[in-house]
Structure 1
Amino acid sequence: MNYIQNRKIFFSISLILIAICFAAMGINYVGGRGLLNYDIEFSGGSILHLDLMTDFNVETEIMPLVIEYLGDDSAVIQLVPDTHQIMITTKTTDATMRTEFVKQVQKELNLTGNIILAEDSVSPTISTELQANAMYAIVLGSILMLIYIWVRFKDFKFGAAAVVALVHDVLIMLFVYAVFRVPINNSFIAAILTIIGYSINDTIIVFDRIRENRRVIGGSDEEVINKSISQTLTRSINTSITTLIMVALLNICGTASVREFAFPLVIGVISGTYSSIFIASPVWFEMRKIAKRMRKKATT
């Protein structure tokens, strides 16, 4: 397969997905749901741990009260196994609203006494700090990888192309979070950094083969890149398939919190493999073309 000849097709596929990502974020924002579905760790909110002491139905008895008295139709209600306890994660920070909600739950289920086992709040100040730390981690990680690849390959263009591929993977992950409204929480930071590490490892394998083939077999950049990708393709696909099997099992068999981490990883592994094969090397090829054109102009 001539990867370089078809590079515009690969670039177009990625640009379409990224455009859909920003469109989805815009639609969500205009609809009043926020650019992304921030969990309470990022937007602020509270967690209520209640012991209802009797049988109940979450969908017909509890969730309608959450929507009416807490004003949060995206609240997460988790059942504590083998008990009558529930954990309610809501974006509501108003203590008065929470108190009224608890009173209505007691009234609905004919409960008396204190049913609140624990009540924790996450302030907007803490959530702002988490958002900043997430951005710092992603930006700092990308810069350090750029420096490492630049030093290792003695060519800034390799590092720059790898960073472009990483930015591509981050945007594809944002596409998943924006379109499927996956909650943005601490798992988001872990998922993004995991995929960045996974993707850069695969990209370096391809770049290593390109560097080796340039020295051993020579030829044009297009021939070297096509041959190098073909030689590493089986390894890349086999590695991705084995990783996907385990992550997919986590997504199928895991709890809700595990699925929030595993589902983006499934997409991230696919995106990381795609960018390593179809984005990073073609971007390096384009940078080489631009550099040659600039040198030619400088000498004439």
Structure 2
Amino acid sequence: MLNFKDAQINFMKQRKLALIISLTLIIASLLTLYFRGLNFGIDFTGGTLIEVHYPEPVGLEIVRPTLETHGYERAIVQHFGTSQDVLIRIAPREDEDSALLSNEIFRILQADFAGVLELRRVEFVGPQVGEELREQGGLAMLYALFGILIYIALRFEWRFSVGAVLALMHDVIITLGIFSLLQLDFDLGVLAALLAVIGYSLNDTIVVYDRIRENFRKLRKESAMQVMNLSINHTLSRTIITGVTTLLVLLALFFLGGSVLQNFALALIIGIVVGTYSSIYIAGALALMMGVDRSVMLPVKKEGASQPSLDEQQP
């Protein structure tokens, strides 16, 4: 069912519709990011981290309601290593000392549990550190995109380079827009997922671009649009199968990996779906719009340039 070896889908005919859809999603994502912003996690906002050890396994569905009834609805609760160790993350609160906050959380949990709890660790991340992490994370993505721009310009041609970077920006912006719309926690794990999406989507785009360059050398009579279509169809089977198999792993992480991995897996799921779409519909269309054709890929040699001189012909 996933064998598209003889597929003849006219992707370039649908490029205007695809670009309109992508542009609409990008504008909607930017507006959502502007008006709603991202729901930054404790890694970026700062806050208190508390590790509590229970003498017996405890379910998170018991710990969360206990904290919610005492006004800590946004506390992030997760198991840490074993089902007996619970990690609690609390966002910073105005006019509240972090040491007093950790003692209050421990007192609440101890009062709700019949046995004796152990407070193993308390850490505090200041707002300044969180802001630095935010800035460094944004710079990491910009550096990655800039490096990709240079690499593809050297490997292929500058039009391909711009097309690939725009396609990657398309993937990242839409993923961020969905996280902003749903107000999901954006932490270092999600940032790592976005960087992984950039690498994954770039890999797909490079495969398509490489086949386009190869077909420009082989197919001398077809137009640039026909070469683009054939190249995307030739790589379609590989693109779909790679995406499906990766999604199977990520869906398992999302549903079975627990709350710790859910946002990380969701960011990768969204990014891979959008990245696969952009590799098929957007990257090639952008390169075509910027004037990629046979004259660009195979510059005409000057007359006599390939002929050796008389001196070179002599032994």
Residue aligned with 1:74, SS: coil
Partner residue, 2:176: 174
Residue aligned with 1:6, SS: helix
Q: Which amino acid aligns with 1:152?
A: R
Q: Measure, in 1, the Cα distance between the counterparts of 2:280 and 2:33.
A: 28
1:180, CA displacement in angstroms?
A: 2.7
Q: Measure, in 2, the Cα distance between the counterparts of 1:147 and 1:87.
A: 42
Give structure 2 stretches of 5+ with no counterpart.
1-8, 296-315
Q: Which amino acid aligns with 1:182?
A: L
Q: Measure, in 2, the Cα distance between the counterparts of 1:106 and 1:156.
A: 62
Mean Cα deviation higher: 101-110 or 271-280 = 101-110
The aligned length equals 277
Q: Measure, in 1, the Cα distance between the counterparts of 2:113 and 2:211.
A: 67
Residue aligned with 1:92, SS: coil
Q: How does 1:39-118 map to 2 (within 5 A)?
A: 39-51=41-53, 57-65=62-70, 67=71, 72-79=72-79, 81-83=82-84, 86-92=86-92, 94-95=96-97, 96-103=100-107, 116-118=119-121
2:49–2:87 contact (8 Å) kept in structure 1: yes
Residue aligned with 2:10, SS: coil
Partner residue, 1:140: 143
Partner residue, 2:18: 10
Partner residue, 2:32: 24
1:78, CA displacement in angstroms?
A: 2.5
Give structure 1 stretches of 5+ with no counterpart.
29-34, 293-300
Q: Measure, in 1, the Cα distance between the counterparts of 2:262 and 2:137.
A: 20
Q: Measure, in 2, the Cα distance between the counterparts of 1:117 and 1:48.
A: 8
User: Which deviations, in whole Å up to 9, do the C-alpha atoms of 1:236-280 show, x marking residues without a partner?
Assistant: 111111111112111121122222211111111111111111000
Q: Which amino acid aligns with 1:22?
A: L
CA RMSD of aligned residues (A): 2.7
Q: Measure, in 2, the Cα distance between the counterparts of 1:102 and 1:278.
A: 53
Match of 1:266 among 263, 266, 269: 269
User: Which deviations, in whole Å up to 9, do the C-alpha atoms of 1:198-217 show, x marking residues without a partner?
Assistant: 11111111111111111221
Partner residue, 2:4: none
**Segments ≥4 residues shifted beyond 6 Å:** 52-56
Is 1:150 the equivalent of 2:158? no
Q: Which amino acid aligns with 1:252?
A: F
Q: Which one has the largest radius of gyration?
A: 2
Residue aligned with 1:5, SS: helix
Q: Measure, in 2, the Cα distance between the counterparts of 1:158 and 1:289.
A: 8
Partner residue, 2:39: 37
From the superposition, tell whether residues 82 and 73 of structure 1 become closer, same or farther in structure 2 (CA, over 3 Å). closer
Mean Cα deviation higher: 178-187 or 265-274 = 178-187
1:111, CA displacement in angstroms?
A: 8.6
- Which has the larger share of helix? 1
Report the TM-score when normalising by structure 1. 0.82
Match of 2:128 among 120, 125, 130: 125
Q: Measure, in 1, the Cα distance between the counterparts of 2:288 and 2:113.
A: 67
1:226, CA displacement in angstroms?
A: 1.1
1:150, CA displacement in angstroms?
A: 0.9
1:27, CA displacement in angstroms?
A: 4.5
Residue aligned with 1:78, SS: strand
Partner residue, 2:193: 191
2:33–2:180 contact (8 Å) kept in structure 1: yes
Q: Which amino acid aligns with 1:217?
A: L
1:99, CA displacement in angstroms?
A: 4.1
1:176–1:264 contact (8 Å) kept in structure 2: no
